[in-house]
Structure 1
């Protein structure tokens, strides 16, 4: 008799269960921290030896202490909340506009002919050139800052949605026609799902532009927010506070991008 027993021998025609795949947790690549830590170390060394004057750029240790003091006083928290609210409102408005225009332009030839030319002209305009016009239209309150963020957000999202819809594989469209899908069903089950990956790329790009737009907007006529904190520090030559504000901007950008990447992994889990 063979060494393999009948109990362990697979039955002909019976599906054999695939071996379960265990998820491996990978340790973070610590090599990515080498260059940032080296830069900070050289920065501290240059500041400590006097090669980098404090009136030009404060040392990392001074920046860290200033950040802790601003956090304890509540000034940094208040500025953080104001800037985050501006970005959130502007992003929602810009995302809705970009999605709607991208869908209309991507699905219809008439939509592309009517929507795409003015959008392409507007997206080439510099933000700094629009600020005086926004101030005349909306005043010097929150509206021009939110409008600037919304405008910056809408363009990357529009371009990615428009390109994703136009880039839907013709084979999928033909297959849906053969299966008897209506136009609405083709849009719902074929076109829009295939556009999701590139749309999420547009969301990531839009978030980056949102923070850049906010930095520009908060540099002018702002009485609160991270931009106001930076401008106020500039008047008093507080380079440490300026760096603190810039670091917070960078951290917010990284965190929002990480959240979108997490959403992307979950939404596109079907791609494997």
Structure 2
């Protein structure tokens, strides 16, 4: 009797995965890595007119408190009262004349202080002789309160316009000098060595290395100087002056007109905000090549 051996064959099913080879390890299960979102640390895009939000909110709180009767009208008049007073002063010609006088004083003092601050900073920052002769004197001047020099300057220059412009110039030049000098001193030595290796001339070194390196610090000092010119002006115009915003506020104090005093403060604040915004705009245009957190 002959034995018939039968061989079983399996037909692969379409679409089925092939059987693993004998002895082969089972494939490890695949895990999908969770996608981590990158945390954003920058402040984000600049909002248009964002710097006006603070002043607008302050005026809104002032108006609400005045309407609710929380503020004494004799001490702090309502915003609409101050606005009406400002319109009246403008229409009768008092405010335009005082504003022009204050602008003229601030412009003369600022121009002198700006020139002195830049020249002294460059002379002190680029030469050891200039640093030895200038820096210590400026630091001594910085330690002395500028408004404390008023009695001495009155004796030297008289009670007229000259001493007012001189005090404003001192208030302006100190921050411009300090920040520009610090920026010059902070230029990396490797850039100086690179300029020497490239054989740059003195003027090319100043134009390509010194000026770009000093501009950020210069603009910081310029903003402080612009603000300082208005701060000094409000004090100086109350000393033997016959015109100007400070004189107008001083006269209003004698008559108890707090609304006129607030008009003067508002005008000073507007000038300070506009001048600071102008410097910021120029800074962004001049330093557009920088990639900073604020940009």
Which range, TM-score by smaller chain? Answer: 0.7 to 0.9
By how many angstroms is 1:55 displaced? 2.3
1:222 aligns to what? 241
Give the direction of change, closer, same or farther, for the CA distance of 1:31–1:146 in structure 2 (3 Å limit). closer
What secondary structure is seen at the aligned counterpart in 2 of 1:271?
coil
Give 5+ residue unaligned stretches, structure 2.
1-44
Aligned equivalent of 1:28, options 43, 48, 51: 48
Give the direction of change, closer, same or farther, for the CA distance of 1:40–1:269 in structure 2 (3 Å limit). closer
2:257 aligns to what? 238
2:158 aligns to what? 139
| In 2: Cα distance, 1:195 partner to 1:30 partner | 28
Q: Deviations over 1:246-265 (max 9, x none)?
A: 00001001111111111111
2:176 aligns to what? 157
By how many angstroms is 1:51 displaced? 3.8
Q: Does 2:143 correspond to 1:124?
A: yes
Give the direction of change, closer, same or farther, for the CA distance of 1:88–1:28 in structure 2 (3 Å limit). same
Q: Counterparts of 1:90-239 in structure 2 under 5 Å?
A: 90-239=109-258
Normalized against structure 1, the TM-score is what? 0.84
Give the direction of change, closer, same or farther, for the CA distance of 1:206–1:78 in structure 2 (3 Å limit). same
By how many angstroms is 1:27 displaced? 5.8
8 Å Cα contact 1:127-1:216 kept in structure 2: no
How many pairs were matched up?
A: 247
Normalized against structure 2, the TM-score is what? 0.78
By how many angstroms is 1:28 displaced? 2.7
Give the direction of change, closer, same or farther, for the CA distance of 1:46–1:270 in structure 2 (3 Å limit). closer
By how many angstroms is 1:26 displaced? 7.0
By how many angstroms is 1:29 displaced? 6.3
Q: Deviations over 1:147-179 (max 9, x none)?
A: 111000000000011111111111211111111
What secondary structure is seen at the aligned counterpart in 1 of 2:143?
coil
Quick check: which has more Rg, 1 or 2? 2
Q: Answer 1 or 2: which has greater helix percent.
A: 1
| In 2: Cα distance, 1:56 partner to 1:62 partner | 12
| In 1: Cα distance, 2:280 partner to 2:64 partner | 36
8 Å Cα contact 1:218-1:228 kept in structure 2: yes
8 Å Cα contact 1:144-1:217 kept in structure 2: no
| In 1: Cα distance, 2:201 partner to 2:78 partner | 64
Q: Does 2:282 correspond to 1:263?
A: yes
Give the direction of change, closer, same or farther, for the CA distance of 1:121–1:26 in structure 2 (3 Å limit). closer
2:272 aligns to what? 253
Give the direction of change, closer, same or farther, for the CA distance of 1:176–1:45 in structure 2 (3 Å limit). closer
By how many angstroms is 1:216 displaced? 1.6
Give the direction of change, closer, same or farther, for the CA distance of 1:166–1:235 in structure 2 (3 Å limit). same
